[in-house]
Structures are given as C-alpha cells and as structure tokens.
Structure 1
C-alpha cells in the first residue's frame, strides 16, 4: 500500500462526498472547493484509482424495507482465522457489514438484518457454523454518521 498525499482540494472533495455523494453535483463540489468541474472529476477518478474512495453506498432504513431486526453480533474468532472468517461471514444470508477488530477477543463485529426471529436464528446458526463464538448480540435502533471534519475544505490552506 502506497501513501497518497491529500491536498486541501482532495480533502474538500472527500468531505462533500461523505456528506451526500448521491445528491451533490460535480459543479457544486467544484464551487465549494474553488476549482473547475474537470479538476473535481479528475481528482475523484484519481481518488478511486488509488483506493482512497472504495465505493458509494446507500444508507438504508431496514425497518422500512421490511427487515425489522437490525442486529450487531459481537464475535470472537481465532486471530489466525479472523480475516478468512470475516470474508466468509460477509457472504452469509442477512449479513450486511463485517468489521475486523485488532483485539484478541471480541474481534469481529457482524451487522445483520432479518425479517423475524426465525430468520435471525438461522443467521446466528450460520455464523456459529462458520466458527465464530458469538459473545453478544445488540439490536441497532439508529446509526448516525457524519463526514470526518479533517476533510472539510478551508480555502487557502494549501
């Protein structure tokens, strides 16, 4: 992995995309970071090619989409198997997000959505069968995010 140096324009673009990538136009970002639209397009392409921007994902209200159970499983996996198990888990029914933690215990967080308790039980059994020890399960009621303030554009800080 190579280090990429971000300048103030790159950070401003990232901030705008984090705030609302779906509804912001290239022209609006360009005006916000005080460069041309073609510069913004080129910078976004470069940020994508370098792997800094890895994708664009919608924020979904699972309950409104008829998946009323939104649960975070906190699991433990053997450190030497953690990455492989995480990759297996993301392919499992109902799993929408897997996070690997840099700890020896409680080192995998698996976010799942389910239609009912029967569905949730099947997901739980599948995760256990993969080799996870489920330490706890927590129902998610809300998830709040915001753009990282370090990316906010400040004109003249280049």
Structure 2
C-alpha cells in the first residue's frame, strides 16, 4: 500500500487524538466521511494502525524516576535470552525492553517512585534473573521528547 497525503493526515490526527470523531477526522483531513472511514479501515487492515490507547501519566501511576538500564548477559544463547525476556516482561517497573547490539544485550526503560524503589528492583529482581552478568544504570534528568508516532 502506498500512502498519500490523506493517509498521513489521518495517521497524524489519530496519533494526536485517537478519540477524534469520524466526522471531525474527515473535516480535519479534507475528505468526506465515507472515503475517510474507508481509508482508516484500510490503514488498520494493512497494519499501519495497530490499535488505539489512552496515554497514561506514568509519573502519577509509577513514579518520577526514569532509569535506562543496560544489561549484558553472560552468554547470548537463545535459551538465556528467552528466559530474560520472559522475566522482564513480568516486571511492572519495566516499561520498555530492547534487544541491542554493542556492549549491552538489552536496554530497559524502568520507571519507579524513587531511588530506594529502584535499588529494591535492582537487588531483588533484575540481579536475580539467571544469566545477567553486568548492569549499568543511567538516570534521566528530564524528558525532552517522547513521541508516540513519527512526525508526518
């Protein structure tokens, strides 16, 4: 599917407000309601739109301390990586987990209330996952930019 300017307008509008009414969406992009809905359905079917969600205030829900944690494993065997991924997926403090290239095998974005809570997460959870060899923590001072979609 080749996207055109109307498709990008739809994606941008929905990325900014997933609850926009279909009528308002059609008005924003400059098409009538029927072709707008047809385009949205096609974008959903083709996987450009993967779902709709509410953006929650993670500071109020989880805390203000954002930590980027680099994790190096003692071996990169599939079983060890799979076990690590399964374990971190169960930890509520871990907001994102990425398999990486370079010095670290994984990069985690962890959100906690305070330094004491992070220490507890580190000592009681992360270091107890089999295969974890090295952990490096970097504390975010402020969020400069966080997008939920690329700008169009």
| Structure-1-length-normalised TM-score | 0.69
**TM-align CA RMSD:** 2.9
Residue 14 of structure 1 corresponds to 11
Q: How does 1:63-78 map to 2 (within 5 A)?
A: 63-65=59-61, 67-77=63-73
Report deviation, 1:25.
2.5
Decide whether the 8 Å contact of 1:94 with 1:114 is kept in 2.
Answer: yes
Query: In 2, distance between residues paired with 1:42 and 1:88?
Result: 41
Gaps of 5+ in 1: 152-158
CA distance in 1, matches of 2:99, 2:26: 35
**3-state secondary structure, aligned to 1:63:** helix
- Partner of 1:39 in structure 2? 35
User: How many Å separate the matches in 1 of 2:42 and 2:86?
Assistant: 27
Unaligned runs of at least 5 residues, structure 2:
none
- The number of residues matched between the two structures is 145
What is the alpha-carbon distance in structure 1 between the residues aligned to residue 64 and residue 119 of structure 2?
14
1:62 matched residue in structure 2: 58
Alpha-carbon distance, 1:15 to partner: 1.2
Residue in 1 that maps onto 2:98: 99
Deviations 1:102-158 (A, max 9, x none): x23234221122233343223223223334432233235225235533x3xxxxxxx
Structure 1 runs (4+) deviating above 4 angstroms are 77-83
Q: Choose 78-87 or 137-146, whichever is displaced more.
A: 78-87
Greater displacement, 76-85 / 107-116? 76-85
SS of 1:64's equivalent in the other structure is helix
Matches within 5 A, 1:138-157: 138-139=139-140, 141-146=142-147, 148-149=150-151, 151=152
Distance 1:104 1:66 in 2: 30
Q: 2:109: which partner in 1?
A: 111
